[in-house]
């Protein structure tokens, strides 16, 4: 998967000026682009301390492996062992991430997505799908599960368990995200919206606590986004916010979280789109692998936190 993503990224390396156009169809000489920063894994949104001290993660034993969330139990029949963790994404760029999703008819289940780019000339930003000029490969669908019931942006980020050498051991089962402003980042950002009536300020008001068409499965339009100086987080208790450790052998691994991995969304920088932690997994009794009948959780220790990079465990050698 790593090599495939690298090939896609190489194919998509083009300059912003070739992609960003104003509503008049002219190239914007200085577009105000978002910059998505993958926050440290297992830290609450907006955390500014030492990421190695973050404890928004745990090991959860569940009875039913098919449940997307599942209540954690201590004993009895164990169906799965899950490493749960909070993830968060900050926008530390110059302009908002603003995505307009649309479908022409309710006969199709998914929406196409366009990205609206803020103009560096007059600060304007497209507020509708029709006005937004930048097509993306992203799509959106309505998630009917009782804990969601809103529209999800597909494949916005992913997380994996990898060996120190980069081989993928486990991939997450989560595929959709409702993106909005959930917290404020501490960074000093010159383009953070200060005027509520400015184009960027209006977008920020729209995205504040945004619920992505909640209880509106018949919608033909919705939006997703994060304004400058804000972030979106998913707590460890949310559906599919976990990696399955049930059959993972004892050893040292990287937990890797990546946003906008294929660069379908235009950003100011892609250098901070990944974050990782190194963990140690040890099954009871020093066993090399999980027992056929699991009665206790493996010991999982956080060895190191590596914000900004997708390799962490190899730095321990």
Confidence band for 9, pLDDT divided at 50, 70 and 90? very low
Is a pLDDT exceeding 70 seen at residue 278?
yes
Confidence band for 2, pLDDT divided at 50, 70 and 90? very low
Average pLDDT of the segment spanning 280-305: 96
pLDDT tens digit string along 179-238?
999 999 999 999 999 999 999 999 999 999 999 999 999 999 999 999 999 999 999 999
What is the Cβ-side half-sphere exposure of residue 264, based on CA atoms within 13 angstroms? 19
In the block, residue with structure tokens 């809103």: 150
Given a contact cutoff of 8 angstroms between Cβ atoms, the answer to whether 260 and 267 are in contact is yes
Name the least confident of 15-24, 40-49, 195-204, 257-266: 15-24
pLDDT tens digit string along 44-85?
999 999 999 999 999 999 999 999 999 999 988 999 999 999
Largest CA distance in the chain: 68
Given a contact cutoff of 8 angstroms between Cβ atoms, the answer to whether 115 and 126 are in contact is no
């Amino acid at each position: 998967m790593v090599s495939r993503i690298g090939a896609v990224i190489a194919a998509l390396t083009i300059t912003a000026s070739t992609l960003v156009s104003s509503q008049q169809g002219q190239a914007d000489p200085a577009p105000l682009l978002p910059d998505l920063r993958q926050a440290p894994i297992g830290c609450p949104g907006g955390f500014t301390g030492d990421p190695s001290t973050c404890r928004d993660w745990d090991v959860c034993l569940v009875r039913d492996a098919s449940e997307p969330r599942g209540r954690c139990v201590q004993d009895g029949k164990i169906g799965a062992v899950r490493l749960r963790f909070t993830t968060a994404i900050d926008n530390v760029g110059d302009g908002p991430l603003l995505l307009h999703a649309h479908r022409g008819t309710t006969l199709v289940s998914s929406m196409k997505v366009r990205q609206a780019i803020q103009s560096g000339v007059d600060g304007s930003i497209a507020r509708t799908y029709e006005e937004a000029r930048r097509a993306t490969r992203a799509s959106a669908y309505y998630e009917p599960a009782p804990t969601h019931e809103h529209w999800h942006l597909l494949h916005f980020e992913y997380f994996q368990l990898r060996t120190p050498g980069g081989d993928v051991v486990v991939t997450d089962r989560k595929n959709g995200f409702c993106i909005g402003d959930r917290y404020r980042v501490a960074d000093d950002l010159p383009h953070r919206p200060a005027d509520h009536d400015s184009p960027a300020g209006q977008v920020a008001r729209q995205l504040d606590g945004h619920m992505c068409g909640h209880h509106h499965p018949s919608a033909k339009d919705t939006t997703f986004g994060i304004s400058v100086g804000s972030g979106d987080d998913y707590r460890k208790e949310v559906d599919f916010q976990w990696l399955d450790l049930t059959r993972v052998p004892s050893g040292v691994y990287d937990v890797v979280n990546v946003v906008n991995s294929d660069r379908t969304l235009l950003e100011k920088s892609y250098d901070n789109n990944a974050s990782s932690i190194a963990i140690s997994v040890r099954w009871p009794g020093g066993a090399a692998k999980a027992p056929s009948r699991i009665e206790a959780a493996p010991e999982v220790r956080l060895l190191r936190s590596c914000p900004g990079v997708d390799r962490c465990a190899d730095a321990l050698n």
